[in-house]
Amino acid sequence: MEAFLDQKLITVELIFKSFYNETHFERYGTYMDETSLLLLWSCTVSMFPLGGLVGSLIVGPMVNKWGRKGTLLINNVFAITPAILMGVSKVARAFELIILSRVLVGICAGVSYSALPMYLGELAPKNLRGTLGTMTEVFVIIGVLLAQIFSLQAILGNTTGWPILLALTGVPALIQLLSLPFFPESPRYTLIEKGDEETARQVLRRLRGSNYDVEAEMEEMREEERKEQAEGRLSVLNLFTFRPLRWQLISIIVLMAGQQLSGINAINYYADVIYTSVGVDPTQSQYVTVGSGVINLVMTIVSAVVVERLGRRILLLSGYGICGLACVVLTVALLLQSTVPELSYLGIVCVFAYIVGHSIGPSPVPSVVRTEIILQSSRTAAFTVDGAVHWFTNFIVGLAFPSIQAAIGAYSFLIFAALCLLTAVYIFVIIPETKGKTFVEINCAFAKRNGVELPEEKGGATAEPHTPSLPDQQTSF
Ligand SMILES: *[C@@H]1O[C@H](CO)[C@@H](O)[C@H](O)[C@H]1NC(C)=O
């Protein structure tokens, strides 16, 4: 069986499916049918974002209780445990271990997705915050690219290598576990949440050097905190009923949902299948995947460089435009390729165009817009909403796409095209350009839509009471 597979195309998906199938046979004496196997595979795929959703919901309490660094350290449990479980799943003949591990790794990702930018943002001096945010994203993409390279059949993406491939998940966690203890806890957390002035001072001195005015930054942090206290920090629940931020909140939800529902992970998770069905030689499709990872990395860096010059709207709109168009053309190419073989190349062009489109706008820009349209006092709550929407929609796509694709084939990409179009229309109508605008100006653009008087300069949204009072609060959803 394994020798047979080795000669044929081996994608990671096929390896797993045949492992599931064989394990089932060993246990029950029957092979799995096509539908159950597809379901089990979709389940495997979507357990990761489901874990991410759990992670995004527990990260808030975690960072407050154990600190930013503490949370990241504890979070390694969710990477090392599944690495071991996945590493032994083949020997143990237990595919349940893989599925369970996907949930745990997902939790790890969900926690880092929010805790890491928070930790880095609080460590960084003000002028480097934006850069650090971008760098985080770039390193995530480098991570994805490394994973794609390790998954090559010639490296670990084969019937003998895959347990090692999966166990590699634990390596970055181990590196972090050994190195992070030497880094300081966030000075902001130490000062504000713990009230430990002396340690915060030492940390700042260590981070910023001896010629730095530590006291000024300490005072700045206290000042920020006082302002937040005065404005009243919004919980997630308050955020949903808080009129002056209503359209900002809807915009964050649409941007985050659009980012996932535009189909990027359908393309990512199933790229190999797409290439093969588009006509790429099976043994070569994995290299095409690595190529797409490189393009993703390059275009994300390009986007980060030009976003200050071109603005957010144009990158988002052109990104969604390219993605939507790519989906439509991909559908046509997939439908006609049996009659016109040349069109199979068009299919690959579409996948690449899609990745270009997504990595210039829909993927990196929403997090930029989010920080610009939300008040400081509701940033933590907005972060939670962002994380939850991100992982939930990711989960939906992972769960639904394989079945939808099995049911309607190539037409499934038209659904993504429609969702791209809808998101683009929303952005065109609702989201103002935020490039180079002050917070007050941005707030002003939203104020009319929210149906509230714009509060006095700076004071933020204090003009409106934070308590829910409006019966029509749900109508916008
Ligand atoms: C499971 O494996 C058997 C034996 O190799 C094969 O005949 C069958 O088609 C496989 N089932 C699926 C759904 O791939």
Share of the chain above pLDDT 70, in %: 91
Ligand 1 binding pocket includes 40 (Cβ within 6 Å):
no
Which of the two residues, 5 and 115, has the higher pLDDT score? 115
Which of the two residues, 330 and 322, has the higher pLDDT score? 322
**Angle between the N-to-C axes of helices 379-408 and 412-430, in degrees from 0 to 180, rounded to the nearest 10:** 150
Share of the chain above pLDDT 90, in %: 43
Query: Given pLDDT bands bounded at 50, 70 and 90, which one contains residue 339?
Result: confident
The C-alpha atoms of residue 397 and residue 102 are separated, in whole angstroms, by 16
Name the nearest CA neighbour of 82 among 107, 59, 57.
107
Q: What is the pLDDT of residue 26?
A: 93
Which of the two residues, 241 and 460, has the higher pLDDT score? 241
Length of the chain: 477
Q: What is the pLDDT of residue 201?
A: 92
Name the nearest CA neighbour of 300 among 142, 101, 117, 116.
142
Tell me: pLDDT of 381 over 60: yes
Residue nearest to atom 13 of ligand 1 (CA): 34
Q: What is the pLDDT of residue 471?
A: 30
Tell me: pLDDT of 466 over 80: no
Q: Where are the domains of the chain?
A: 1-183, 236-469+473-477
Distance from the CA of 15 to the center of ligand 1, in angstroms? 12
Note whether 255 and 369 are within 8 A (CB). yes
Q: What is the pLDDT of residue 458?
A: 45
Q: What is the pLDDT of residue 278?
A: 65
Spatial CB neighbours of 417, under 8 Å, sequence gap ≥ 6: 324, 325, 327, 328, 331
Q: Same CATH topology for 1-183 and 236-469+473-477?
A: yes
pLDDT tens for 56-80 read 999 988 998 999 999 999 999 999 9
Ligand 1 binding pocket includes 39 (Cβ within 6 Å):
no
Spatial CB neighbours of 131, under 8 Å, sequence gap ≥ 6: none
Weakest mean pLDDT among 90-99, 216-225, 228-237, 294-303? 228-237
pLDDT tens for 351-364 read 999 999 999 999 99
Tell me: pLDDT of 12 over 90: no
The C-alpha atoms of residue 80 and residue 171 are separated, in whole angstroms, by 8
Structural fold of domain 236-469+473-477: Growth Hormone; Chain: A; (1.20.1250)
Query: Which atom of ligand 1 is nearest to 33's Cα?
Result: 13
Structural fold of domain 1-183: Growth Hormone; Chain: A; (1.20.1250)
